[in-house]
Every structure is written in structure tokens, then in C-alpha cells.
């Protein structure tokens, strides 16, 4: 969808930075940038989904104008869209809706916004500028500078670093943390003096005489978990089903054009497809290497939902060809092998898709992905395990002083590591810190790249869904118990009967049947990995070890000399990883190489 740069420095500096930022944020040919300037501030907005609906608006008044702008997307119900159409102001309809909330309720109205966004309001009557961050931290803002003459915000840390003189001021602990854990601790970035803004907050900047006179921050939302032991899982499933339908239908309204829903053979995407607004023009699309079991299940789901399926075949160098641009767009803080959608961006546009939905984050919110779990071998069901810093991606446990810096961050964030047996409330807090802000989780390249470069809407950040999420105890998320019950309400019987490609079990399968199917599926996957060596797997994504062993593109990118990268990696790892070939890395430590490769491409770009 886009990016922004908000600058409160002196006018000459702002104009230079705006030109630079507009160029740097133009990741693709169809990126459109707009520049707004006032006495005390300048704002650059960049979007790929157009400004007709999402552009800034301004209401003129003798007492002073009110300006509203938006990065990302808000989600509204139809009456809210209709009310926005009646507001007297020049500009985009979404920003008119924000203006209406602000005029009726003031700052409190900004705290009711729904979606993945950063919103901006300049009220001349109060000489105040407001920056509003979304509650889940899906569309993040960052900040450099604290004094009045250095205050600057942006959505892309690299661009913010370039326009503020921080481009080479790297945070070595952050570089080490990514290689060790596949993510960064919030609010750190790869730069010493750039931090992410807290989600769910309104930042107030007081203006006078063309300058900043005061700054404050107020929180409008925090994750207050409130499980009620009297509420049954059936009750939660019904509430979640209602919230899920509303969330998806808010984002598949006909005014957004043709909606493309990413479809796999699993449960999350079929829930999206089943809940879509029946009035909308909806198509499913599936990425594949060959027409495997996953592809066939996805095709059956699309047929049962009576929607056209757009098959998008990946060529062999699909991931390598988009790696450099993907790292530039994502800022190198998400493993580039999760860059699943950038390579089909043009093909989706050619198919007329102007609105994009995926089932991202169902695993985090409703299936216990962020817990430490162990699987009961015979029943094939998950239960809570003791706390461990590792929970999803494996750690590469550094054997150099860099490990101590990373562990200092982790220990500060997770005192639960020393608490022994954790309570229900403790586990919910662990889950919150591992999941939110969403733009800091391990697979962020899969989400942040579409958010910047595609018309991507995120149903799982909907306010109604989060309200239900806060009521769910940990046990209801294990094995996706409530989520599976929700599917019974959302999905037609013909869709429920189609087996989940991850387990080969139908949605309503009994636990003995589920255990049998899951065991057989796991055995087949292990046999396939052991016996065969090919690009395609039975699932959605490729065989990474096979690809890295045979990719000429990855080999070429890895072998491009970069003395700085060699020095950084040697300092962090205690050895020079460029002494090994890509094939050797793939055989020895596949996951670590994926992180090294991502960071190497980032260092190539930052050094140059």
C-alpha cells in the first residue's frame, strides 16, 4: 500500500529530504508519491493503490484548517463509508471518515480506528499535529531524533536513516540478534538512533511559530487479556465466527474492486474465502511449483466456494530473482525466503486484482504458535511446555561476545525465563510479546513487502477479532480448538469436507482420526525429504535445501564481494561464512544461511 516520511526540521532540510525520500520509496514504477508542506512540517506519502480513495483530505475554516492523511488502510462498515461521503472536505474518502471521527470525538475518535495504518491529523485551531499508530503494530512507524530541530518520522527505517544521516550508524547487537533468532526485539532497528513507535498510541506534537514546542504520547489501546472461565469454547467460536465475517467483509467491499484471496489447502485461507462479502468480485489465487496435493486441495476449495482460481506457477529462480528488491523493500529484517508474493505482483495486477487478502496470523492468534509446546506422540495433540527462548524458528546459538548482547535483550523482554512454572496469565503475556507488534515477527517479509507494494488488507488485525482474541485462554488455542469450531460456522459443508492439506484430515474429524491422518501425513513428508531431491514439495513452499544447492542466482548474489559483510559476519559468528559455498551452507545449516543471505543483500545495499 505505501510508506510515509514526516519531517519537522527546518524548511530547506525538509525539502531536500522529501525529494530523496520520494525517490527512495519508489520501489516500483507504479508507486505514486505526494508531497504536502506546511510552515512547520512536510509529509511525503507513497502508495501503489492510488489516492482516489486513500488520499489526504482537508477541511477549510476561518478558525483554521484540519488536514488528515493516511498511510496504510483503515477498515470501515458501509454506514461509515456513506457518512464520509457527506462530509464537506476536499480529498480521499477514507481520510474524510477519519476527519468525521476527529470532529465528533476529538482524539478519542482516533483511538477507534480499525485496520493497519498510521494516520495523521494537523489541527490548526489547536496548533497540534497527531500521529496515530494502529493497535497491532502491523503498519509501523519509526522515529529519529527527539529535539524540536531534529524530529522526523518514517515508515521505512532505511529511508529514515538515509535522510537523517544515520545510514552507516548500525546497531551491531541488532545485526547479531537477527542472525541468532531470525527477528529483532521491539523497538530496536538496525540503526542505533532509530526506534519503532509504540503501537496503539497517539503522538501529539505541539506547533508554534513554525516549530515544535512540545511532544507527548498517550496510549489508547493495550492488550488487556480477560478470559472468563464461564465462557465455553463453543461461545468463543461463535463470537469469533461473527467477528471473522465482519472483518473479512469490511475488506471485500465492492468499492475496492476485484479481491484476490491467497488460497492454499489449509484452513486459514478457506475461512477467508468462505467469509468474503458475497457482493464482491472475488477470485482465489494459488502459488505452486507443480500441481501437487496442496494445489489439488486448493482447487477443490475454490470450486466448492464457486470462485475462479488463478494458478500462478513459480519458475525455478522465483525467489532469487526477487531477493534484492525484496530485501530493499523489507529493510532486511525478515528472512527473504518468506518473500512469497513479490514475484507475482505484476501477474495479479494483470488479472485485475485491486484488493488482496491473506490468512496471515491465524497461527499466531488462534493456534498457539507463540507458545512453547510439546506434542503428545500418540494423540498428536499439543500441550504447553516449559518456557524456552526458542519457539518457532530455531536459534543459532552464537559462541562469541555478540551472544551476550542478544541475551541481554531477551532476558529483559522475557523475565518469564526465570519464573519456573508459568500461569495462564504469564503465557498470554509471552504470546503477546512474541506476536505483537506484528511487523516484528519472524515471517515479516511475507507481510511487510505486500503491505508496501500491493493493495494488501489484513483481516486478522480487525478490532472485533482482537476483542475476541483477548477473551481466549491459552488452552483454547492449542490444537486450534476454537478456530476449528469457528470453521464449522463459517465454511459451507462442501468446504468442511475437503481435507486440510497439512494433516489430510477433514475439519470435523475426530481426534483419533485426526491423529491417524496427521501421523500418516508427517511420515510421508519425512520420506519425501529423505528419499527424493526435487524443487516441489507436497505443500505450498519449495524444498529450500534443493533450491539453494542448485540456484545460480543465489550463488551469484552470495559470491559478490563485500568486505564489510565479511567483517560484520566474522565479528558476530567468529568465522567468515564466505569461505563456504552456498551448497555447503545448505548442507550444514540451512536456516542460518537464509538469515546470512538476507543480511548480506542488505549490507550490499547499505554499503553501496
- Can you list the pairs that 405-413 forms with residues at least 24 positions away whose Cβ atoms lie under 8 Å? 405/172, 405/173, 405/176, 405/177, 406/173, 406/176, 406/177, 406/180, 406/181, 409/173, 409/177, 409/185, 409/188, 410/181, 410/185, 413/185
Per cent of the chain over pLDDT 90 is: 88
Instruction: Check residue 522 and give its pLDDT.
Output: 60
**pLDDT (mean) for 546-562:** 97
| Cβ neighbour number for residue 58 with a 10 Å cutoff | 17
Instruction: Check residue 518 and give its pLDDT.
Output: 60
Ranking 216-220, 274-278, 405-409, 522-526 by mean pLDDT, the lowest is: 522-526
Using the CB atoms, write b or e for 268-284: b if 16+ within 10 Å: bbbbbbbbbbeebbbbb
Position with higher pLDDT, 510 vs 71 = 71
Instruction: Check residue 531 and give its pLDDT.
Output: 61
- In angstroms and rounded to an integer, the radius of gyration of the C-alpha atoms of the chain is 24
Q: Is the pLDDT of residue 124 over 70?
A: yes
**Chain-wide mean pLDDT for the chain?**
94
Instruction: Check residue 205 and give its pLDDT.
Output: 97
Strands 353-357 and 57-59: unpaired
Cell of 427: 503465557
> C-alpha dihedral over 591, 594, 600, 606, to 10 degrees?
-110
Contacts of 602 (CB under 8 A, 6+ apart): 190, 327, 331, 332
Question: How crowded is the C-beta side of 79, counted as CA atoms within 13 Å?
Answer: 0
Instruction: Check residue 210 and give its pLDDT.
Output: 75
The Cα–Cα gap between 517 and 504 comes to: 6
pLDDT tens profile 386-399: 999 999 999 999 99
Position with higher pLDDT, 506 vs 229 = 229
Which candidate, 44, 70, 38, places its Cα nearest to that of 57?
70
Instruction: Check residue 524 and give its pLDDT.
Output: 63
In contact, 27 and 453? CB cutoff 8 Å: yes
In contact, 92 and 70? CB cutoff 8 Å: yes
In contact, 536 and 543? CB cutoff 8 Å: yes
Question: How crowded is the C-beta side of 244, counted as CA atoms within 13 Å?
Answer: 31
Catalogue the E-assigned strands of 298-457: 308-313, 353-357, 373-376, 381-384, 456-457
pLDDT tens profile 324-355: 999 999 999 999 999 999 999 999 999 999 99
Instruction: Check residue 523 and give its pLDDT.
Output: 60
518-519-520 Cα angle (round to 5) = 90
Q: Is 423 exposed, middle or buried (0-12, 13-18, 19+ CB in 10 A)?
A: exposed
**pLDDT (mean) for 558-577:** 98
Instruction: Check residue 88 and give its pLDDT.
Output: 93
Q: How far is CA 587 from the centre of its chain?
A: 30
Cell of 95: 481520510
- What are the DSSP calls for 194-236, one per residue? EEEPPSSEEEEEEEETTEEEEEEEEE---------TTS-HHHH
Instruction: Check residue 317 and give its pLDDT.
Output: 98
H or E element: which one contains 573? helix 563-573
Instruction: Check residue 513 and give its pLDDT.
Output: 61
Task: Report helix, strand or coil for 167.
Answer: coil
Measured CA distances, 147 to 18, 159, 166, 188 (Å)? 20, 20, 16, 20
The Cα–Cα gap between 338 and 449 comes to: 10
Position with higher pLDDT, 538 vs 479 = 479
Instruction: Check residue 506 and give its pLDDT.
Output: 72
User: Residue 71 forms beta bridges with which residues?
Assistant: 118
Q: Is the pLDDT of residue 272 over 70?
A: yes
pLDDT tens profile 38-56: 999 999 999 999 999 999 9
Cell of 530: 529423505
Instruction: Check residue 123 and give its pLDDT.
Output: 98
pLDDT tens profile 406-452: 999 999 999 999 999 999 999 999 999 999 999 999 999 999 999 99
**Cut 0.85: pTM above it:** yes
Cell of 329: 523493500
pLDDT tens profile 350-386: 999 999 999 999 999 999 999 999 988 776 788 999 9
Q: Is 401 exposed, middle or buried (0-12, 13-18, 19+ CB in 10 A)?
A: exposed
Cell of 361: 496470523
H or E element: which one contains 67? strand 66-74
Question: How crowded is the C-beta side of 423, counted as CA atoms within 13 Å?
Answer: 3
Q: How far is CA 348 from the centre of its chain?
A: 19
Measured CA distances, 517 to 35, 404, 540 (Å)? 56, 43, 19
Scanning 459-510, the segments in alpha helix (DSSP H) are: 463-469, 474-477, 481-490, 493-496
Which candidate, 115, 67, 125, places its Cα nearest to that of 95?
67
**pLDDT (mean) for 561-588:** 97
Cell of 499: 481435507
Going by pLDDT thresholds of 50, 70 and 90, the confidence category of residue 488 is very high
Going by pLDDT thresholds of 50, 70 and 90, the confidence category of residue 145 is confident
Task: Report helix, strand or coil for 301.
Answer: helix
Amino acid at each position: 500500500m505505501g510508506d510515509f516520511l514526516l519531517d519537522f526540521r527546518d524548511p530547506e532540510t525538509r525539502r531536500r529530504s522529501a525529494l530523496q525520500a520520494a525517490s527512495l520509496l519508489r520501489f516500483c514504477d507504479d508507486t505514486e508519491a505526494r508531497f504536502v508542506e506546511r510552515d512547520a512540517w512536510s509529509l511525503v506519502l507513497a502508495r501503489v493503490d492510488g489516492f482516489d480513495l486513500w488520499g489526504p483530505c482537508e477541511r477549510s475554516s476561518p478558525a483554521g484548517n484540519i488536514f488528515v492523511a493516511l498511510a496504510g488502510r483503515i477498515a470501515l462498515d458501509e454506514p461509515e463509508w456513506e457518512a464520509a461521503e457527506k462530509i464537506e472536505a476536499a480529498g480521499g474518502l477514507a481520510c474524510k471518515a477519519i476527519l468525521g471521527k476527529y470532529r465528533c470525538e476529538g482524539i478519542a475518535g482516533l483511538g477507534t480506528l480499525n485496520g493497519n495504518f498510521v494516520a495523521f491529523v494537523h489541527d490548526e485551531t489547536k496548533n497540534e499535529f497527531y500521529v496515530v499508530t494502529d493497535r497491532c503494530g502491523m503498519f509501523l512507524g519509526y522515529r529519529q531524533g527527539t529535539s524540536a530541530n531534529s524530529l522526523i518520522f518514517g515508515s521505512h527505517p532505511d529511508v529514515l536513516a538515509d535522510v537523517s544521516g544515520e545510514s552507516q550508524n548500525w546497531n551491531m547487537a541488532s545485526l547479531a540478534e537477527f542472525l541468532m533468532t531470525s527477528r529483532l526485539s521491539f523497538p530496536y532497528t538496525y540503526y542505533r538512533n532509530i526506534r519503532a513507535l509504540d503501537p496503539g498510541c497517539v503522538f501529539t506534537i505541539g506547533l508554534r511559530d513554525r516549530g515544535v514546542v512540545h511532544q507527548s504520547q498517550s496510549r489508547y489501546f493495550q492488550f488487556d487479556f480477560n478470559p472468563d472461565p464461564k465462557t465455553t469454547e463453543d461461545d468463543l467460536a461463535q463470537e469469533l465466527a461473527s467477528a471473522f465475517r465482519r472483518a473479512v467483509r469490511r475488506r471485500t467491499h465492492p468499492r475496492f474492486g476485484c479481491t484476490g484471496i491467497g488460497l492454499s489447502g489449509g484452513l486459514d485461507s478457506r475461512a477467508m474465502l468462505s467469509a468474503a462479502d458475497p457482493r464482491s468480485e472475488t477470485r482465489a489465487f494459488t502459488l505452486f511449483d507443480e500441481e501437487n496435493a496442496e494445489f489439488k486441495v486448493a482447487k477443490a476449495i475454490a470450486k466448492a466456494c464457486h470462485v475462479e482460481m488463478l494458478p500462478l506457477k513459480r519458475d525455478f529462480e522465483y525467489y532469487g530473482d526477487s531477493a534484492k528488491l525484496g530485501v530493499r523493500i523489507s529493510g532486511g529484517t525478515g528472512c527473504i525466503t518468506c518473500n512469497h508474493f513479490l514475484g507475482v505482483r505484476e501477474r495479479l495486477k494483470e488479472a485485475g486484482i485491486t484488493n488482496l487478502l491473506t490468512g496471515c496470523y491465524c497461527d499466531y492468534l488462534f493456534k498457539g504458535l507463540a507458545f512453547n509446546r510439546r506434542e503428545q506422540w500418540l494423540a498428536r495433540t499439543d500441550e504447553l511446555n516449559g518456557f524456552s527462548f526458542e519457539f518457532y524458528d530455531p536459534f543459532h546459538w552464537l559462541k562469541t561476545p555478540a551472544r551476550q548482547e542478544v541475551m541481554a535483550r531477551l532476558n529483559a523482554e522475557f523475565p518469564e525465563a526465570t519464573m519456573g512454572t508459568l500461569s495462564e496469565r504469564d503465557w498470554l503475556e509471552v504470546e503477546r510479546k512474541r506476536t505483537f507488534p506484528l511487523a516484528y515477527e519472524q515471517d515479516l517479509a511475507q507481510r511487510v513487502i505486500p503491505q508496501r507494494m500491493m493493495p494488501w488488507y489484513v483481516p486478522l488485525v480487525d478490532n472485533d477479532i482482537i476483542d475476541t482474541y483477548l477473551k481466549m485462554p491459552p488452552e483454547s488455542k492449542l490444537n486450534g480448538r476454537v478456530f476449528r469450531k469457528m470453521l464449522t460456522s463459517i465454511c459451507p459443508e462442501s468446504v468442511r469436507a475437503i481435507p486440510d492439506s497439512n494433516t489430510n484430515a477433514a475439519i470435523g474429524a475426530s481426534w483419533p482420526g485426526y491423529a491417524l491422518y496427521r501421523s500418516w501425513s508427517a511420515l510421508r513428508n519425512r520420506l519425501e525429504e529423505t528419499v527424493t531431491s526435487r524443487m516441489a514439495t507436497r505443500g505450498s513452499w519449495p524444498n529450500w535445501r534443493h533450491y539453494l544447492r542448485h540456484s545460480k542466482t543465489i550463488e551469484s548474489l552470495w559470491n559478490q564481494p563485500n568486505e564489510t559483510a565479511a567483517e560484520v559476519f566474522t565479528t558476530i559468528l567468529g568465522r567468515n561464512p564466505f569461505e563456504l559455498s552456498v551448497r555447503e551452507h545448505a548442507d550444514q545449516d540451512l536456516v542460518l544461511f537464509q538469515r546470512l543471505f538476507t543480511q548480506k543483500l542488505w549490507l550490499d545495499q547499505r554499503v553501496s
